[in-house]
Amino acid sequence: MLYRDPAILFEATAHHYLDARPSHPGLLLDQVAALSPAGTILDLGCGPGSVALALAERGRDVIGADASPAMVDAARSAAARRQLLGTVSWLVDDAHRLAKVPPVAGAVIADAFHWFDRAAVLRRLDELVVPGGFVAVIVSFTAGTPKPWWYPLVDRVIDRHLGPMRQAGPGIFYQQPDPRDHERVLRDSAFGRITVTRTDHRIRLTLDQVMAWQYTQAYSSPAVLGDRLPAFGRDVRALLTAAEPSGDFTAVTQPGLIIAYREED
């Protein structure tokens, strides 16, 4: 695995996720929910449950698994609020072990694959996913496509407060995965038959939502910022207000979905 204690990577971010992270496009979630075979889908690195709950609302049974107990607690609370307790179960489990996960129809990994030892996780999924099953990887920003225009502005403030090396939770520096992109890693695994969908997705956020989104990032979470948090927040807010006085932040991004089946299937 890339990190000795993956549970702390997103420490103190769960409620910001639920408040501010834009939802994945319905088109992509619809595709995952419709995948064969029937049966339970494992949402791996589920965070506070956004994708797991969306799939449950589309009629799938789901197991959400995350290394962070705080994230799983937030997911359970969100499921209760949305009255989805019967179709989703939750596990605190590391993606590289998955000791508590039964066989599943497939696995979905949304904006989390780069945090894993991807090849090792795919080997474990090869043991858990039934014949004919799938691995589906969702990314909010397809490789080579631009992120929202305000990202470089916020990066300048992060550099000023935390330095140019990005952290991955408090006291941990980000580890670059091997240089292969997600599609190549999947092609080199047991799940080598690939279908890729990309779609334009318009997001519209308030200044407060952009701020909260920043606090969902492992490299600028409240836990990483510590006592720098108030000054960081003031500086980001001032810079973004100067850049967009209306407080209306819009961007067109290009999320993607990679669906991978075993070659022999």
Mean pLDDT of 25-40: 97
Residue 85 sits at φ, ψ, to 5 deg, of -65, -30
Q: What is the CA radius of gyration of the chain?
A: 18
| Cβ contact 210:240 at 8 Å | yes
Q: Could you say which DSSP state residue 180 is in? A: S
**Upstream peptide bond of 102 is cis (omega within 30 degrees of 0):** no
d(CA 122, CA 135): 8
Mean pLDDT of 237-261: 97
d(CA 114, CA 10): 14
Task: List, for residues 81-125, the tens digit of each pLDDT value.
Answer: 988 877 899 999 999 999 989 999 999 999 999 999 999 999 999
Task: Please determine, for residue 265, whether its predicted confidence score (pLDDT) is greater than 70.
Answer: no
3-class SS string, 23-91: CCCHHHHHHHHCCCCCCCEEEECCCCCHHHHHHHHCCCCEEEEECCHHHHHHHHHHHHHCCCCCCEEEE
Task: Please determine, for residue 142, whether its predicted confidence score (pLDDT) is greater than 70.
Answer: yes
> 3-state class of 232 per DSSP?
helix
| Cβ contact 115:48 at 8 Å | no
Task: Please determine, for residue 61, whether its predicted confidence score (pLDDT) is greater than 70.
Answer: yes
Per-residue burial over 155-191, b = 16 or more CB atoms within 10 Å of its CB, e = otherwise: eebbeebbeeebbbbbebebeebeeebbeebbbebbb
Residue 100 parent element (H or E) = none
Task: List, for residues 170-227, the tens digit of each pLDDT value.
Answer: 888 888 888 999 999 999 999 999 999 999 999 999 999 999 999 999 999 999 999 9
| Residues 243/246/249/252 CA torsion (nearest 10 deg) | -90
Q: Domains plus CATH for the chain?
A: 6-143+167-202+254-261 (3.40.50.150)
Which residues does 123 contact at the CB level (< 8 Å), separation at least 6? 189, 190
Mean pLDDT computed over every residue of the chain = 94
